[in-house]
């Protein structure tokens, strides 16, 4: 019979995690447990808060259910804030009444810091902390053009990404001289800024806002101390956090000089019956603003209340691995080399946009810290060297060099000691993972369920999967080929689930058949599947968050942050009038012009804001998108064929145009290239293409699954002397079978090579209908052909979609200062980075 009461104030991530730990512990039987939260919703995942703008609901982000609280006997009080603590009487007061406690846990978190700026309380100014905050921001964004985030740290950049997802022109204003000043150095911050600006977010550093007043062309104007200003329609403050210690102050608990409830190693405050965990707590003069240390505090306190006197919180690793607006950023350990005697090793590839810095100790044997921008592939290896004190190799610089330049291979799971930390959020070691597998976990999902590894921030997902795969293989267990941790299916399985169940959004798919929030593997994959199945516009509200950079802006981003314009020229045939239009557009916008090997005219150097204007002119002249940015049909190359060539035996141009118009809307696992040659002299090089067609005296020979690239493959002869109708029907079947069964990012050549039975099996399926699916494949292709839309035409005609391409709203006509140009061979090209040839 419970005779004591434990009260938890705060129902955020850390408070909920404490309840998860404590509810199943032996001590829980001796307590009535009450929890009080200010918000109306159950605890939810603030790490993925931005996904609320991408369609996620509170149910998607929720960390538990009301049923769970009932099952555990926890008395839940939402929208009932605690207003007073009487330490002497051990009573808390809320608007609803008073409650006695024997032990009290403060998990009140933090509140957003808003600088003391005149005008900060304007109705168009917000903070970025709760779902209600996001609802208010979304409502304000209706009819707005521009949004500004004050603060260039982790949360500020997340908020900027959220504003972009709402279709606003996003700006970031940062007081420090660089972005993410806590995690990055000057070089890393400069590269991050370049990359973010290339994605259309304008960055303003070393800016101190002195006042917020009414704007002239926008709702607000921000006045800066250097007498410059910026107009905007809404402002989001994300300039850091402060410990929410109001209750602790009011009841006389010891507070740090700069805020925070002072705790000892057992997370107990100056009152032995009151404890504090998470962002409200101050341990060793430090407040921890990440979820992982809060979780560690929660586990420590639960153990302490269960009479584990060895339980102690002794600090936490503050390393972070993120993807901000699609840009990899990593910071490990002593990233700023503050340790006496620390030395630095830097690798800076400006061309590729990769910056890596290692901080090593004085004798060069240990890694103290690291910074990564643009490529986090080295993060897991460097983190393990740092956390586990592993001796560095003789040439430590090899850990951050590309393999082509003598870089060391990734540190494999076998090199890690059992004590190696795999998941810092839940304090899961390699030994814990191995124990879970020995206890019966036979796949990644079971390991995660048993250990909670990778269920926090998710930064350890790749390392965890490698470890689980390695340990399972050692035990003779077949390793899962799931597409990622969020879906227990292959790409082919996902395709069938989407098609059979009529699923049209990623949100529905992951809710019904997956878990979590998705990642950079499954989101683009599902985007491709949805496009293939239903042919909806890729910039539709539900689909935009799934796209990579090129698909998001329907153009290939170039190395200097500008974009290419690639209109479709079916079969390479173009009228003089259309050539003139291309020349006029290139001249008007000063675009670099090149005829490609795929019989296209590419125009390079367009800024984001120019894209809709240029496409409007091209569409008016009869051009369509060339899909050069997508995993789809790129080109159908042709020779002039029998119309002009004295050797030609069929109209190769006509067939190429027919093929290009038929398959131009098809989204696929990877890009698809085709060619049609008018005779066996093969001027169109058809036998190096995914689909190659060569004319014969009796019709067409079809070749499949070839490609150029890094590993060229000659296409295989698939069928001979086909009529026009037979050729189309067979290509329909091959392409649809490929789209349905290939793995993500798998070219047709690799697809066939990996297929059991290879070419012979493919012939049986397509030519002999061995699976009885050919009619279905043909109908599916007919559906795609019948629902084709030029993505750019739809975009320029839709005001909401056009909003995604605006930049410099407050300074019309201003040239992007990031872009630097020179002239070569009478055309404009980017200024080369230092060291480039």
Known binding-site residues for [4Fe-4S] cluster equal 639, 645, 679, 683
Rounded CA separation 107/12 (Å): 7
User: Residue 234's closest CA among 319, 160, 334, 308?
Assistant: 160
Report the b/e string of 420-438 with b at 16+ CB within 10 A.
Answer: bbbbbbbbbbbebbbebbe
Instruction: Specify binding-site residues for siroheme.
Output: 683
Report the alpha-carbon angle 359-365-370, nearest 5. 20
Q: Looking at the chain, how many residues does it have?
A: 837
User: Residue 509's closest CA among 824, 682, 495, 251?
Assistant: 495
Strand-pair partners of 171: 148, 202
Strand-pair partners of 202: 171
Strand-pair partners of 5: 32
User: Residue 734's closest CA among 708, 709, 759, 754?
Assistant: 759
Those residues with Cβ within 8 angstroms of residue 257's Cβ, 6 or more apart along the chain or in another chain: none
Helix H segments across 330-429?
379-388
Cα 464 off chain centre by: 18
Residue 300, exposed/middle/buried by CB under 10 A (0-12, 13-18, 19+)?
buried
Those residues with Cβ within 8 angstroms of residue 169's Cβ, 6 or more apart along the chain or in another chain: 145, 146, 147, 200, 202, 806, 807, 808, 809
Report the b/e string of 779-789 with b at 16+ CB within 10 A.
Answer: ebbeebbeeee
Instruction: Specify binding-site residues.
Output: 639, 645, 679, 683
Rounded CA separation 120/137 (Å): 15
Tokens, residue 59: 């149910």
Cα 97 off chain centre by: 45
Cα 109 off chain centre by: 26
DSSP 217-257: SSSEEEEETTS-EEEESEEEE-S-EEE--HHHHHTT--B-T
Rounded CA separation 64/246 (Å): 27
Rounded CA separation 512/508 (Å): 6
């Amino acid at each position: 019979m419970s005779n004591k009461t434990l009260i938890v104030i705060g129902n955020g991530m850390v408070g909920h995690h404490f309840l998860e730990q404590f509810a199943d512990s032996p001590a829980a039987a001796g307590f009535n447990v009450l929890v009080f939260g200010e918000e109306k919703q159950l605890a939810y995942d603030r790490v993925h808060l931005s996904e609320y703008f991408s369609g996620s609901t509170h149910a998607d982000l929720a960390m538990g259910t009301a049923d769970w609280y009932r099952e555990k006997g926890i008395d839940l009080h939402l929208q009932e804030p605690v207003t007073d603590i009487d330490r002497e009487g051990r009573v808390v007061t809320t608007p609803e009444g008073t409650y006695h406690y024997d032990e009290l846990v403060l998990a009140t978190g933090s509140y957003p810091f808003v600088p003391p700026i005149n005008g900060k309380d304007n109705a168009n100014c917000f903070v970025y902390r709760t779902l209600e905050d996001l609802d208010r921001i979304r409502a304000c964004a209706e009819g707005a053009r521009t949004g500004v985030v004050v603060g260039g740290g982790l949360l500020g950049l997340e908020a900027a990404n959220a504003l972009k997802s709402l279709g606003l022109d996003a700006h970031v204003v940062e007081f420090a001289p660089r972005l993410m000043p806590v995690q990055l150095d000057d070089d890393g911050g400069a590269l991050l800024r370049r990359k973010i600006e290339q994605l259309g977010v304008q960055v303003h550093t070393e800016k101190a806002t002195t006042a917020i007043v009414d704007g002239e062309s926008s709702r607000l104007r921000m006045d800066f101390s250097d007498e410059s200003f910026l107009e905007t329609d809404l402002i989001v403050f994300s300039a850091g956090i402060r410990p929410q210690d109001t209750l602790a102050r009011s009841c006389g608990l010891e507070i740090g000089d700069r805020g925070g409830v002072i705790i000892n190693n057992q997370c107990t405050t100056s009152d032995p019956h009151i404890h504090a965990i998470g962002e409200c707590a101050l341990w060793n003069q430090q407040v921890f603003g990440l979820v992982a240390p809060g979780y560690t505090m929660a586990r420590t306190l639960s153990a302490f209340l269960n009479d584990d006197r060895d339980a102690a919180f002794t600090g936490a690793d503050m390393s972070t691995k993120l993807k901000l607006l699609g840009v990899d950023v990593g910071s490990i350990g002593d990233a700023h080399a503050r340790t006496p005697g620390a030395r630095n090793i830097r690798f800076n590839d400006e061309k590729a946009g990769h910056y890596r810095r290692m901080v090593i100790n004085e004798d060069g044997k240990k890694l103290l810290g690291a910074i990564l921008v643009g490529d986090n592939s080295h993060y897991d290896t460097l983190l393990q060297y740092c956390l586990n004190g592993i001796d560095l190799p003789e040439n430590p610089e090899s850990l951050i060099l590309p393999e082509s330049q003598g870089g060391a291979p990734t540190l494999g799971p076998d090199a890690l000691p059992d004590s190696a930390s795999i998941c810092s959020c839940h304090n899961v070691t390699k030994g814990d993972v191995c124990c879970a597998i020995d206890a019966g976990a036979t796949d990644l999902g079971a390991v995660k369920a048993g250990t909670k590894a990778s269920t926090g921030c998710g930064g350890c997902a790749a390392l965890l999967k490698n470890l689980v795969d390695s340990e399972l293989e050692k035990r003779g267990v077949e390793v899962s080929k799931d597409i990622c941790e969020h879906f227990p299916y292959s790409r082919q399985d996902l395709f069938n689930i989407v098609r059979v169940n009529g699923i049209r959004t990623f949100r529905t798919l992951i809710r019904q058949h997956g878990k979590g929030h998705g990642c950079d593997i499954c989101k683009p994959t599902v985007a491709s599947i949805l496009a293939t199945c239903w042919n909806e516009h890729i910039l539709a509200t539900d689909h935009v968050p799934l796209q990579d950079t090129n698909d998001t802006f329907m153009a290939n981003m170039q190395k200097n942050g500008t974009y290419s314009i690639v209109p479709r020229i079916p079969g390479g045939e173009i009228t003089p009038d259309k050539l003139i239009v291309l020349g006029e557009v290139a001249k008007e916008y000063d675009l670099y012009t090149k005829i490609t090997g795929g019989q296209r005219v590419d125009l390079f150097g367009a800024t984001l804001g120019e894209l809709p204007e240029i496409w409007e002119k091209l569409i008016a002249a009869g051009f369509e998108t060339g899909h050069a940015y997508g995993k789809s049909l790129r080109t159908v190359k042709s020779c002039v064929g029998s119309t002009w060539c004295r050797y030609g035996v069929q109209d190769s141009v006509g067939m190429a145009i027919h093929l290009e118009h038929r398959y131009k809307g098809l989204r696929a696992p990877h890009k698809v290239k085709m060619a049609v040659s008018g005779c066996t002299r093969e001027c169109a090089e058809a036998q190096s293409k995914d689909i190659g067609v060569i004319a014969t005296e009796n019709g067409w020979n079809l070749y499949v699954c070839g490609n150029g690239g890094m590993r060229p493959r000659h296409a295989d002869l698939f069928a001979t002397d086909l009529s026009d109708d037979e050729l189309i029907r067979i290509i329909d079947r091959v392409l649809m079978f490929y789209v349905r069964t290939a793995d993500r990012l798998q070219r047709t050549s690799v697809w066939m090579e990996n297929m059991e039975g290879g070419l012979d099996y493919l012939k049986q399926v397509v030519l002999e209908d061995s699976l009885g699916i050919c009619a279905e494949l043909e109908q599916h292709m007919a559906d795609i052909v019948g629902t084709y839309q030029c993505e750019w035409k739809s975009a320029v005609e839709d005001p909401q979609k056009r909003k995604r391409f605006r930049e410099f709203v407050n300074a019309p006509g201003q040239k992007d200062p990031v872009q630097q140009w020179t002239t070569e061979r009478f055309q404009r090209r980017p200024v080369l980075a230092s060291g480039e040839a």
